[in-house]
A = this chain, B = another copy of it.
Amino acid sequence: MASTHYMDPERDNPELTEERRRANFDPEVLGDFFWQGQLKRRRQICEYVRSQGAELAPAQPVPFMTRMEQLEDVARLSVGMRKHAENVIDVGSPQEQFYFNSLICGYDGSPFHLHFIMALPAMINNCDDEQAAEWLPKLFNCEIIATYVQTEMGHGTNLKALETTATYDASREEFVFNSPTITSTKCANFGVVMAQLYTNGKCHGAHPFWVQLRDIDSHKPLPGITVGDIGPKFGIGSNDNGFLRFNNYRIPRRHMLMKHAKVLPSGEYVPPMHAKVGYTSMMYVRSVMIFGNAVYLAGAITIAIRYSCIRRQGEIRPGAGEVKVLDYQTQQYRLFPQLARVYAIAFSGIYIMDMYKSVIANINAGDTSLLSDLHSLGSGLKSVTSWQVSLGIEQCRMACGGHGYSEASGIPALYTMAVGGCTYEGENIVMLLQCARSLMKLAAELRSGVAIIENGTKSANPVTGYLYLANPPRKCRITQESGPDSYLEAFEHIARQRVFSAYDRLAQLRKRGRSAEEAWNEAGVALTKASKAHTINFMAKTFVERTKMMQDSAARADSFMSAQQAEYVRIKMYDSMQRIRPIALTVVDSFDFTDAELKSVLGRRDGNVYEHLLEWAKQSPINANDVLPFHEKYLGSFMKEVRNEREMSKI
């Protein structure tokens, strides 16, 4: 069943050909399943980009560029990308847009990244009809580049405490902006700016505004605006995150985005139908992030498994020769759970993207009832998946040994980008606490009996339904023959236990006289654990539903699960590892990454790693000469000096 798409037996490392021939399924089917029916489209787009040659390809690998060179190259590439976009992608499809963007500009960010992923959706969701007619065409055709401005030097996740203010001046029908923020600032000339809205001396909380930052022609910052780059970061070098400061900067009244809340010329404030309806662009990004996280991990596991199929080290049977490192149980234990996670996270990502779409449709129809469900699930998933993926990528990197530490592996850049997702769009711990808010509300209703009445419909809720269960099993029913459903019971048990134990801790603290807020803080750790377990339970359920096959790591033992049952799970896991081993390479092939996408010498489709590692290294400016240009100036003359000293002292 091996797909010939991935095979070139004449040229490939024979280790990989041998592995691919063992596959008992068609990777094209699995790949199309993972990419939700888009495999062929992706290949068309990919082939188009490849066929354009240098115009749409990086000038050299990113690790060899300075940051300035990287920014310049991505500016060049992103213009090329926009010019070709209409020839090949459906520009109305965010999915194709993102794929096209990452194919050409990589994952490290581009001038259009925040433009498309944050500013444009924010504008779509927050402009009224007149505003949309005026501004959206300019965003779609990219004659302006917009950014999203919210994080401040002194404030990140806590939107309530934003220091940027937009004070309405009714006499001139303008808003006056003040204070510091951090955002993309070198390439963008407009921004969707979140600011505390003040009218008639009263604060109405954070609202979105459409603000011009730079001159259309000269691109110079406008008077009243200070901008700059925030400097080098852990990763995403070509994302020009910057700082931005307003000093009595004025914009017209109609530049407040007025789909939901409004300010009338008089300064009268018209509130939105739901307080958080202006925050949907954050929810959008979090929804998009989940599947994106799965893709990052899919990249890393593709590299690690391919490399583990060609890397030989050590013997299992003495004298039988060195084995492929993927044959070690310890290597499988390190890598195969990551493979399972890719799917678990991807499926949750698909689920929440669908949920986002229906919530927005509902809002447009005047129904905001599911907004907080979306917020809660998105917060939990964003937090759990970004951290699982980060840990998973590091395991993939370390599983490649010393070569994994080289930028040639492509994994360091994947890690620094993915782990950024633990912080941006809402710091992970804060997000878990957000998720816990709705869980504690529900737990209170369930404990008081209020929610039970609605049991009929609510227990069917795929996210929170398990909490409604009147008589959950008190003992784990896992046997040697158990399938995924009893495993799910264990996930539900843990989640239920953590949710109610956090609730009980809160209640206990209240009884001891703590205020609601103090109790919330002192139960903080328990609350984050509840949210994590709740989210992982959702992911496990979604995973089983989509695959009816379960291979994630075993749940922890406690009095619910006996040691014997834990052993069943363990045996099953080792069995799964043995079943996955022969097909592992073909499973990762099915993610269908091209070498240009993976940017990894270790993860080359053809497995010809060692010869290309040296080729790669030769591109380093350090290797331009046998001797470093400054050698004589420092170390060379120093060594001679001390040698002479020693020789003189002997005389």
Residues of A within 8 A of B (CB): 63-64, 66-68, 71-72, 75-76, 78-79, 82-83, 111, 137-138, 141-145, 151, 153-158, 160-161, 182, 186-187, 189, 216-221, 227-234, 240, 243, 311-318, 322, 327-331, 333-334, 390, 394, 397-398, 401-402, 404-408, 412, 415-416, 419-420, 422-424, 427-430, 433, 515, 517-518, 520-525, 528, 556-559, 563, 574, 610, 613-614, 616-623, 626-628, 630-636, 638-640, 642-643, 645-646
Contacts and interface: CB of A to CB of B under 8 A. Distances in A.
Contacts of A78: 634-635
From A153, A623, A635, name the one whose CB has the most chain B CB atoms within 10 angstroms.
Answer: A635
B423 A398 contact: yes
A156 B401 contact: yes
Given A63-B231, A610-B153, A424 B407 contact: no
Contacts of A219: 627, 631-632, 636
B75 A231 contact: no
A583 B613 CA distance: 50
A646 B79 contact: no
A626 B220 contact: yes
Contacts of A627: 218-220
Contacts of A151: 402
A528 B332 CA distance: 13
Nearest to A641: B143
A75 B631 contact: yes
B646 A521 contact: no
A405 B418 CA distance: 12
Nearest to A611: B153
Contacts of A334: 429
Given A557-B558, A643-B143, A407 B635 contact: no
Given A428-B398, A515-B317, A636-B219, A616 B231 contact: yes
Contact of A620 (B231, B408, B523, B621): B231
Contact of A234 (B220, B390, B407, B558): B407
Nearest to A420: B405
A115 B66 CA distance: 29
B243 A614 contact: yes
A622 B68 contact: yes
B524 A329 contact: yes
Lowest 10 A-B CB distances belong to which pairs? Answer: A329-B524, A143-B643, A234-B412, A231-B617, A229-B622, A330-B524, A75-B634, A63-B232, A143-B642, A232-B407
A620 B237 CA distance: 12
A460 to B, nearest CB: 32
A229 B233 CA distance: 24
B524 A333 contact: yes
A328 B524 contact: yes
A643 to B, nearest CB: 4
Given A423-B404, A635-B111, A646-B138, A622 B143 contact: no
A398 B412 contact: no
Contacts of A312: 154
Contacts of A630: 71-72, 75-76
A251 to B, nearest CB: 20
B406 A229 contact: no
Given A626-B220, A631-B75, A525 B330 contact: yes
A182 B402 CA distance: 10
Contacts of A66: 66, 621
Contacts of A620: 67, 229, 231-232
Contact of A563 (B433, B557, B559, B619): B559
Nearest to A331: B429
A640 B141 CA distance: 11
A64 B232 contact: yes
Contact of A79 (B327, B329, B634): B634
5 contacts: A71-B622, A78-B635, A142-B639, A318-B517, A398-B419
Contact of A639 (B63, B144, B406): B144
A142 B286 CA distance: 55
A313 B157 contact: yes
A179 to B, nearest CB: 12
Contact of A613 (B153, B405, B416, B613): B153
